[in-house]
Chain A
Amino acid sequence: MPEQLEKTVDTPLKHLVNPAYEKWRLLKDRLARYGVVLGGLGVIVAIVLIFFYLLYVVLPLFGSASAREIAQYATPQQQSGKSLLLDAEEQNEVAARFIDNGQIVFFEVASGKVVSTETVKIPPESRITSIAKGSTVSQGVVAYGLSDGKMFIAKTQYKINYDNNGRHILPTTVYPVSEQPIIVDEAMTALEAIAVNLSGDTVTIAAKTAQAVQLVNINQEKSLFSDEVKTNRTVATIDLPADKVEKLLLDKQGGHLYVLDKTGMVYAYNINDKASPKLKFQQKIISADAKVSSLVFLNGDISLLAGDSTGQITQWTQVKDALNNPVLKNIRNFKLADKPIVAIDPEQRRKGFIAMDDDGAVGIFNTTAERELITLKIGESRPVNAIVSPRANRLLVESADGKMHHWNVDNEHPEVSIKSLWRQVWYESYSKPAYIWQSSSASNDFEPKYSLVPLVFGTLKAAFYAMLFALPLAILGAIYTAYFMDPKMRQIVKPTIELMGALPTVIIGFLAGLWLAPFIEKHLAGLFLTLIALPVSVLICSYCWQLVPQHLRQKAGEGWEGSLLIPAIIIVTWLSFTLSVPLEAWLFNGSLRDWFNNRLGIGYDQRNALVVGIAMGFAVIPTIFSIAEDAIFSVPKHLTTGSLALGATPWQTMTRVVLLTASPGIFSAVMIGLGRAIGETMIVLMATGNTPVMDFSVFQGLRTLAANVAVEMPESEIDSTHYRVLFLAALVLFLATFIFNTLAEVIRQRLREKYSSL
């Protein structure tokens, strides 16, 4: 130190005469000041940056969709005929128009320029009487029903070629079943409505003629040894009066045929046995004064969407009723406007759809989130056909005035809304609305279930049990250490407990998962017995101690009760665990766990909330202990001595003076402990089964927000909905701990001022 002092004294003196150097010194001083101030404010910047960055990622979830028209052009080859259907491909470059004369016109989406035209080989003597997209919709299969009882199946294919000029898409048409028309109705009457399901070598066709509704199943078996193809054909008739039938739908699983009749009644047939379809149930899907104007499957073919003449769109899904019978249930409704719905087109990869009405209004909806994302007005005249591109980012609408409208849709996160995050949602094929977290699956048909409620519930449950375990131990321990304990012992005890706060949570979690969980599973009764035996034995110890002669007590010294209790606690615990075995055999027929299960119906998970409570409680004890102990210890001494001098016992002084004064400090300790328990990741990750269930039982597992983020974040695709929802989970955690910590810090600062004034 003297050397340094010498230096500081020496240098300025030497250069005292040099004004340039003086300036330089002052400049340096000023620069340093700015630098330091900047650095200090950097801390605030950091915390604000974290908050705003999280918010920046989360916000797009709640924005509505936007759309703008990119192009408008005359319908390509308008002169050839009326459009029956539209089709678009993945890259948004080429689209197709299916014309009623059998032509398929492929054109550039951007400009409407015709790329190529193909003609389906419809026999000259017949004409097209019905058309339908084949299931699965994304395959691009189109079925034509003909006037002579035959049908034709065509499929669009878009081949992608790369050359020096970039990507080229070559549209072609193929005939997946046969190049010849397929005979559906042997009576050769016109097919007025048609539905097709194509899976592998099997084609299922439902067709309605003037006389009957028929279900035809054609299975082509290729022989292993020759080119011979064996065709099996079964025909079944649906027992419904054909004149009433309006629309047929076959689901992609091949299990159901839905028939809509003119009165708005939907009949569902189980067609697993193609030769004998069975009526599963029937359900009227419309009110008396309305008429169904459009009926389609939602992506996944589990739900039906019905648009009606009042502008309402209803979603229907199959659920089991109270008697376990399948019924069609109306799970939610959307309203576009008051005009009749003209067409509904489901998105191919999400549970969303677009709907158009007579007036030219187009709405984009999502069913899971129950959101209307945007309503557009397209063109001046009535829309006739519309298609959403496979990636759901473009919209192609044909209007009655012969125009084609090409829109760009920016609709990245339709499946999330405040409701889908925080309220019960009626998911497809669930019997009732529920809180469910189930984020991902391999298939596009999956309905992602982003309810944060089970995760928040798990977080609070884990924190609750942890606090239940930690609070008594930490606060009582802090009281004793700060006030009653011998100073010599305190010098050892406090750092020891604080040192445990530094123990990595991954180690606590690993012990909890691999050691404590199996241990508790085996010794459940022992644990409960210990919980009862310990307080009793402490009471007995205390009573016995006051019977010990005074001089012996003084020799042992006051403030050393803790050390006396250590062997007692160890022995009692050991005894409890040993005795619990015969006790369990005697009272609970061998195993308390089985007894709970058989008698009370309480299931037992090995990694459950009890294990988490103990492990995480153990982890937060040092935090709470340390802060609470500081608060109690720094209560000014004159307060306590005053109280004692007035004749209060030490315990009275403790409860009436010390605790009251230190209570804000203890409160802030609890807040900080709670904040830590809520955000703790590794312990819950390892000590629970990570099942997002909502069950209050202490023997059941849980999944917390933090563990969920840790598990799912590495697998989520950047900027996807899942990714943003996980950021939202992080933001919720951030805000929760922010509130707890700020509250704690403000209280602590107040307390510090109060103490200094005392």
Chain B
Amino acid sequence: MISSKTNTWLQSGAPWIWFTAAAVSASLIMIIGVLLLITVRGIGHFWPADVSSFNYQETNGQLKTLYGEIIDTSETPAAAARISGYNMADNEEVLVQYQIKTGNRDVTGSDFRWIQERNIKQQDTPPELSVIERREWGNFYGTLLAVKDKSGVIAQGDAAWQAAQDKITETLDIHDEISHLEKKEIGAINYRLEQLRLKRRKLEITGQLTESAKTEIETEKTGLNKRYQELQTELSKLYQQSRNASLLVKTDSGAEITIPLAKVVRLYKPNVMNVFGKIGHYFVKLGEFLTEEPREANTEGGIFPAIFGTVLMVLIMAVIVTPFGVIAAVYLREYAKQGFMTRLIRIAVNNLAGVPSVVYGVFGLGFFVYILGGNIDRLFYPESAPAPMYGTPGILWASITLALLTLPVVIVATEEGLARIPKSIREGSLALGATKFETLKNTVLPMASPAIMTGLILAVARAAGEVAPLMLVGVVKLAPTLPLDGNFPFLHMERKFMHLGFHIYDVGFQSPNVEAARPLVYATALLLVLVIIGLNLAAIIIRNNLREKYRALEG
């Protein structure tokens, strides 16, 4: 028999209440867990981990030295390990395996390998182990033997370290100069040459290509070509210089290889760094992450173009969505008679909010890109045919598509703000003789501006995280040029761009080397999460302040 106490407990419904409480708690735990997961993995990426040297016995009995960072640990119970084909002794309960990043992809063919703990004969962290970050083939782990020049070895042994660092700084400077020349100077010349070609073609189409115009274009073209030749000579000289020096290094298998300095980004010995050194290194890497361009098919380096693309796209979107959203909200609150029409509009707003984002992408691609863009090209840019200008996905279309997608967010937030403004304020203004428009312009809207701001921030947060529609209307995995640069008219709305959210998808799922790219994806995800949570918190704070203010007004 159930005791009477238990019986009353059951009848009181307490267990059910606890179940509902558990649902909340479970949701909270999951949310915090996800955030912690991203944070921990994202933050850890830049920390220079120690590089271990393992004396490892391969399964065929051969002893080998392996250098690498321990990335992951896996514990497999004996039974499961046996199924997977591992030989397990009877007294062994678990099979412990480490995933180590061994780098040296050019030598071994892969960046990572799994090793079994039981086969590690010895493990230590020798101070002389160096890590070389490279522009190709991923990291190198090994020891530095010597620094070479065109003429031969210039430093070896203990002196090699300092000489290498000096040389690296030197080569990095040259590299900066090269990329400046290639990206900025030559890029500008190419852009102007293309503009000239288009200008000529336009004159040709309109039948205004006179001899004088022709010569003018030709002269300009010759001038540009001449400048191009000069830059090219300068470039090849720089390339020559950067190729001079190289590092002689030894891998864990004892092979000696030469790494040209032009391919080296950084050389460091994590095992001898102290905490401050590591922190310094951490921030340098973080800075690189935020400000540099990606390397090696986006799996290394920074994500600056993605940040830039996201911010610019969101800004253009904000410019478009604000007026429309505010006007619609004003109509709903201030002008429309509450009735069938407003109900219909509210349903439309809700539907706009509920339509899957990928449908916006489809609509944007078909309507904005192909119909609007195609017609713009036909009318205004016939000279660039058959290459499309606006008739292809680009940042303008992406912004407009997302403006449509975030319109409901702005409308709802603005409407809420307008609804909170006490009636007495409007009536006061009207009683003093102001027209409805003047009341709106001078009284209502300024008071509602924080609410509009809230809506805008929420819209921006939504747009920053949206990926599916962007995949159709303008995002690319690697954009050769930013949509904003030093060439007239500076803002190139037709260009394709990179985006943080798409970067996560692309690097995490489409990249040839997902394993190597994973830490970078976590770091990017963390950045995106921070931005979006920051924006949302800002919106919440503004909204709360607003509520307080109106409560005071009403009182």
Chain A's closest residue to B446 (CB) is: A4
Determine the chain A residues whose CB is within 8 A of the CB of B407 once the complex forms: 43, 46
Whether B21 pairs with A43 at a CB distance below 8 angstroms is no
Q: How far does the alpha carbon of A43 sit from the alpha carbon of B406 in the complex, in Å?
A: 12
Query: Is B486 part of the binding interface, using a Cβ–Cβ cutoff of 8 Å?
Result: no
A window 497-514: CB within 8 A of B:
497, 499-500, 502-511, 513-514
From the candidates B346, B356, B462, B504, name the one contacting A502 in the complex (CB within 8 A): B462
Q: How far does the alpha carbon of A341 sit from the alpha carbon of B345 in the complex, in Å?
A: 58
Whether B27 pairs with A484 at a CB distance below 8 angstroms is no
Determine the chain A residues whose CB is within 8 A of the CB of B26 once the complex forms: 473, 477, 534, 569
Whether B521 pairs with A510 at a CB distance below 8 angstroms is yes
Chain B's closest residue to A623 (CB) is: B354
Determine the chain A residues whose CB is within 8 A of the CB of B154 once the complex forms: none
Whether A504 pairs with B467 at a CB distance below 8 angstroms is yes
Whether A29 pairs with B436 at a CB distance below 8 angstroms is yes
From the candidates A36, A543, A706, name the one contacting B335 in the complex (CB within 8 A): A36
Q: Which of B437, B508, B521, B528 has the most CB of A within 10 A?
A: B437
Whether A565 pairs with B354 at a CB distance below 8 angstroms is no
From the candidates B14, B23, B350, name the one contacting A744 in the complex (CB within 8 A): B350
Provided the pairs A542-B14, A651-B17 are in contact, do residues A584 and B362 lie with their beta carbons within 8 angstroms? Answer: no
Please give the distance in Å from B536's CB to the nearest CB on chain A: 5
Please give the distance in Å from A546's CB to the nearest CB on chain B: 5
Whether A585 pairs with B19 at a CB distance below 8 angstroms is no
A window 704-749: CB within 8 A of B:
706, 709-710, 713-714, 718, 726-727, 730, 733-734, 737-738, 740-742, 744-746, 749
Q: Which of A472, A500, A685 has the most CB of B within 10 A?
A: A500
Whether A36 pairs with B468 at a CB distance below 8 angstroms is no
Would you give the 0/1 interface string for A659-699, flagging 1 where the beta carbon is closer than 8 Å to chain B? 00000000000001001101111100110000000000000
Q: How far does the alpha carbon of A334 sit from the alpha carbon of B359 in the complex, in Å?
A: 37
Provided the pairs A535-B19, A618-B30, A686-B509 are in contact, do residues A25 and B435 lie with their beta carbons within 8 angstroms? Answer: yes
Provided the pairs A50-B359, A713-B365 are in contact, do residues A546 and B347 lie with their beta carbons within 8 angstroms? Answer: no
Query: Is B206 part of the binding interface, using a Cβ–Cβ cutoff of 8 Å?
Result: no
Chain B's closest residue to A481 (CB) is: B24
From the candidates B331, B433, B472, B521, name the one contacting A710 in the complex (CB within 8 A): B472
Determine the chain A residues whose CB is within 8 A of the CB of B505 once the complex forms: 506, 509-510, 682, 685-686
Whether B331 pairs with A506 at a CB distance below 8 angstroms is no
Whether B331 pairs with A40 at a CB distance below 8 angstroms is yes
Q: How far does the alpha carbon of A744 sit from the alpha carbon of B354 in the complex, in Å?
A: 11
Provided the pairs A37-B331, A679-B357 are in contact, do residues A741 and B79 lie with their beta carbons within 8 angstroms? Answer: no
Q: How far does the alpha carbon of A499 sit from the alpha carbon of B344 in the complex, in Å?
A: 29
Query: Is A81 part of the binding interface, using a Cβ–Cβ cutoff of 8 Å?
Result: no
Whether A681 pairs with B465 at a CB distance below 8 angstroms is no
Provided the pairs A33-B335, A42-B328, A569-B29 are in contact, do residues A741 and B354 lie with their beta carbons within 8 angstroms? Answer: yes
Chain B's closest residue to A35 (CB) is: B327
From the candidates A9, A685, A749, name the one contacting B432 in the complex (CB within 8 A): A9
B window 531-549: CB within 8 A of A:
532-533, 536-537, 540
Whether B352 pairs with A7 at a CB distance below 8 angstroms is no
From the candidates A32, A506, A591, A654, name the one contacting B440 in the complex (CB within 8 A): A32
Chain A's closest residue to B14 (CB) is: A542
Chain A's closest residue to B408 (CB) is: A43
Whether A54 pairs with B438 at a CB distance below 8 angstroms is no
Whether A737 pairs with B351 at a CB distance below 8 angstroms is yes
A window 27-83: CB within 8 A of B:
28-29, 32-33, 35-37, 39-44, 46-47, 49-50, 53-54, 57
Chain A's closest residue to B353 (CB) is: A741
Q: How far does the alpha carbon of A237 sit from the alpha carbon of B7 in the complex, in Å?
A: 93
A window 636-674: CB within 8 A of B:
649-652, 654-655, 672
Interface residue stretch chosen among B31-39, B120-128, B213-221, B240-248: B31-39
Whether B359 pairs with A40 at a CB distance below 8 angstroms is no
Determine the chain A residues whose CB is within 8 A of the CB of B439 once the complex forms: 8
Query: Is B149 part of the binding interface, using a Cβ–Cβ cutoff of 8 Å?
Result: no
Determine the chain A residues whose CB is within 8 A of the CB of B521 once the complex forms: 510, 514
Please give the distance in Å from A102's CB to the nearest CB on chain B: 44
Whether B352 pairs with A47 at a CB distance below 8 angstroms is yes
Would you give the 0/1 interface string for B315-352, flagging 1 where the beta carbon is closer than 8 Å to chain A? 00000000010011011101110000001111111111
From the candidates B356, B404, B508, B540, name the one contacting A678 in the complex (CB within 8 A): B356
Q: How far does the alpha carbon of A49 sit from the alpha carbon of B360 in the complex, in Å?
A: 11
Q: How far does the alpha carbon of A741 sit from the alpha carbon of B346 in the complex, in Å?
A: 11
Determine the chain B residues whose CB is within 8 A of the CB of A710 once the complex forms: 358, 361, 468, 471-472
Please give the distance in Å from B178's CB to the nearest CB on chain A: 34
Provided the pairs A484-B17, A538-B22 are in contact, do residues A495 and B354 lie with their beta carbons within 8 angstroms? Answer: no
Whether B23 pairs with A472 at a CB distance below 8 angstroms is yes
Query: Is B223 part of the binding interface, using a Cβ–Cβ cutoff of 8 Å?
Result: no
Determine the chain A residues whose CB is within 8 A of the CB of B488 once the complex forms: none
From the candidates A497, A504, A581, A746, name the one contacting B347 in the complex (CB within 8 A): A746
Determine the chain A residues whose CB is within 8 A of the CB of B354 once the complex forms: 672, 675-676, 679, 737-738, 740-741
Chain A's closest residue to B346 (CB) is: A745
From the candidates B15, B82, B438, name the one contacting A12 in the complex (CB within 8 A): B438
Query: Is A479 part of the binding interface, using a Cβ–Cβ cutoff of 8 Å?
Result: yes
Whether B24 pairs with A709 at a CB distance below 8 angstroms is no
Whether A565 pairs with B437 at a CB distance below 8 angstroms is no
Q: How many residues of B contact A (CB 8 A)?
A: 112
Whether A499 pairs with B358 at a CB distance below 8 angstroms is no
Query: Is B275 part of the binding interface, using a Cβ–Cβ cutoff of 8 Å?
Result: no
Please give the distance in Å from A458's CB to the nearest CB on chain B: 14
Query: Is A562 part of the binding interface, using a Cβ–Cβ cutoff of 8 Å?
Result: yes
Determine the chain A residues whose CB is within 8 A of the CB of B411 once the complex forms: 43
Determine the chain A residues whose CB is within 8 A of the CB of B462 once the complex forms: 502
Please give the distance in Å from B394's CB to the nearest CB on chain A: 14
Whether A591 pairs with B83 at a CB distance below 8 angstroms is yes
Please give the distance in Å from B390's CB to the nearest CB on chain A: 15
Would you give the 0/1 interface string for A350-376, flagging 1 where the beta carbon is closer than 8 Å to chain B? 000000000000000000000000000
Q: How far does the alpha carbon of A274 sit from the alpha carbon of B152 in the complex, in Å?
A: 67
Whether A566 pairs with B28 at a CB distance below 8 angstroms is yes
Chain B's closest residue to A707 (CB) is: B358
Chain A's closest residue to B18 (CB) is: A542
Query: Is B16 part of the binding interface, using a Cβ–Cβ cutoff of 8 Å?
Result: yes
Q: How far does the alpha carbon of A63 sit from the alpha carbon of B16 in the complex, in Å?
A: 57
Determine the chain B residues whose CB is within 8 A of the CB of A5 once the complex forms: 428-429, 443
From the candidates B15, B362, B440, B501, name the one contacting A54 in the complex (CB within 8 A): B362
Whether A479 pairs with B20 at a CB distance below 8 angstroms is yes
Query: Is B268 part of the binding interface, using a Cβ–Cβ cutoff of 8 Å?
Result: no
Q: How far does the alpha carbon of A54 sit from the alpha carbon of B367 in the complex, in Å?
A: 9
Would you give the 0/1 interface string for A382-412, flagging 1 where the beta carbon is closer than 8 Å to chain B? 0000000000000000000000000000000
Would you give the 0/1 interface string for B284-328, flagging 1 where the beta carbon is closer than 8 Å to chain A? 000000000000000000000000000000000000000010011
B window 72-107: CB within 8 A of A:
77-80, 82-83
Query: Is A187 part of the binding interface, using a Cβ–Cβ cutoff of 8 Å?
Result: no
Query: Is B13 part of the binding interface, using a Cβ–Cβ cutoff of 8 Å?
Result: yes
From the candidates A13, A473, A649, A678, name the one contacting B27 in the complex (CB within 8 A): A473
Whether A738 pairs with B351 at a CB distance below 8 angstroms is yes
Whether A43 pairs with B28 at a CB distance below 8 angstroms is no
Determine the chain B residues whose CB is within 8 A of the CB of A9 once the complex forms: 432
Q: How far does the alpha carbon of A46 sit from the alpha carbon of B403 in the complex, in Å?
A: 12
Whether B465 pairs with A43 at a CB distance below 8 angstroms is no
Task: Provide 14 A-B residue pairs closer than 8 Å at the C-beta atoms, listed in order of the A residue.
Answer: A25-B435, A36-B334, A37-B335, A40-B345, A477-B27, A481-B24, A485-B21, A504-B464, A655-B13, A709-B361, A710-B472, A737-B351, A742-B350, A746-B347
Binding site for A on B (CB under 8 A): 5-6, 9, 11-31, 34, 37-38, 77-80, 82-83, 324, 327-328, 330-332, 334-336, 343-363, 365-367, 370, 404, 407, 411, 428-429, 432-440, 442-443, 446-447, 458, 461-462, 464-468, 471-472, 501-502, 504-505, 508-509, 514, 518, 521, 525, 528-529, 532-533, 536-537, 540
The 5 A-B residue pairs whose C-beta atoms are closest, nearest first, are: A651-B13, A679-B356, A40-B331, A504-B465, A39-B327
4 new A-B contacts at CB < 8 Å, known A47-B355, A591-B83:
A40-B328, A502-B461, A504-B464, A654-B13
